[in-house]
Structure 1
Amino acid sequence: MFKIEEIKELIQLINESNVNDFSYEQDGTKLKIKKNYGEQVMVSAVQTVPQTKPQIVEMASAPLETAAKEEKPEVNENLHKITSPMVGTFYASSSPDKDAYVKVGDKVTKDSVVCIIEAMKLFNEITAEVDGEIVEILVKDGELVEYGEPLFLVKA
């Protein structure tokens, strides 16, 4: 499987070149990158080696960032973790000019929308799942998140 850093480097190289379509296969994993004219790059990686759960990664970004993902702090087991139900891009608000859905200290109900995860051009609203108070936001706006990755800590 490709490492996220390797994919980010490939995206940057493709973005800076005149290449519009790029495909690559390594150890049974296929990677396909298409560059659109709107300064966006679409990436899809599919694991073709049999696994219990094949992984599909889709991401679009403009501009591209190559910063490495920071290690997350240890999570207090007494707090409820709101986790990502999918691989995608985390957005704290419905648009860049709007306020974040929640911030640290906000009270939420189980039906409160706390963020959006964008996957394959679909924007999925994520709810708090419990009544409580937001104690910590574990990811940054625009950051790529993995399935099951903790996004928020809530004091129930």
Structure 2
Amino acid sequence: MVFCSGYMSPEYASDGVYSVKSDVFSFGVLMLEIVSGKRNRGFNHPDHRFNLLGHAWTLHMEGRPLELIDASLGEAYNQSEVLRALNVGLLCVQCNPDDRPNMSSVVLMLGSEGALPQPKEPGFFTQRIMLEANSSLSRKAAFSGNECTITLIDGR
């Protein structure tokens, strides 16, 4: 599986295939970021090296989804609405685009109180690979600290 940081869908990151379900993936990442108060890119947790999607999935599978909620909210939130948002967010970040809802379904799910489908494992549910201290790569800058990207379009 290819690792992607940010909001890019697995099918776009690995194969360059873009669809309306790619936007759904990005929306799901954004929902999980809003609820958690954390960014997917650069997410760190002391107990594991999962990204935010992996962390949300793990908490969901362990029956502890409320632990994902931003602590700065205190008790000032509607628990059922936040749990619904987490579930919908996980549905949006499914690995297979066919398993993701379309945006009109997302809007309906967020605005209703009916039962929701159970999500499957999200796309890019990965652990970050840490460089070995003695590797030659670890002595060099493996990643740029610049969060700016430039895309140049070139004809085939």
TM-score scaled by structure 1? 0.24
**More strand as a share of residues:** 1
Q: RCO higher in 1 or 2 (8 Å CA, sep ≥ 6)?
A: 2
Higher helix share: 2
Q: Report the TM-score, using the length of structure 2 for normalisation.
A: 0.24
